[in-house]
Amino acid sequence: MVIEILSYNTSVLNPALKLLIITLFIIAAWLFYRSRQKYGGILRQVSTLLLAGAVAGALASLFRFQGDVYVQYKWGESILDLAFVILTLAIALVIRAKMQEVTRLFGSGGGEEKP
């Protein structure tokens, strides 16, 4: 037996949490957009990738929210989640490469350099 508030089909928490996630992704996208406008160079590149990731996350969340009502929207969630993961991986690779450049220029400060 499931507690009513935790029931996926009948709980008010289910749609409320989905709407909260959409809202938070939109706020993140706005913050990354503002950062993209304010900064240049590598910070602009990273902000652009993070902005694209936040938009993909927001759209995936919208598809998830609508997928509970219209089953044909479930595919959108999967495709946009895939885009979100690919963008997150790209961000990680860009940041890692830049950190390695900084380490080469200034040293790691912690003794031996690790690969």
DSSP single-letter state for residue 20: H
pTM: 0.75
Distance of CA 51 to the CA centre of its chain: 8
- Residue-wise pLDDT for 28-67, tens only, equals 999 999 999 999 888 888 899 899 999 999 998 998 888 8
Average pLDDT over residues 62-81: 84
DSSP single-letter state for residue 109: S
DSSP single-letter state for residue 7: -
Q: How confident is residue 113, by pLDDT bands cut at 50, 70 and 90?
A: low
pLDDT at 115 over 80: no
Per the prediction, the chain carries an average pLDDT of 85
Contact call for residues 77 and 64 (beta carbons, < 8 A): yes
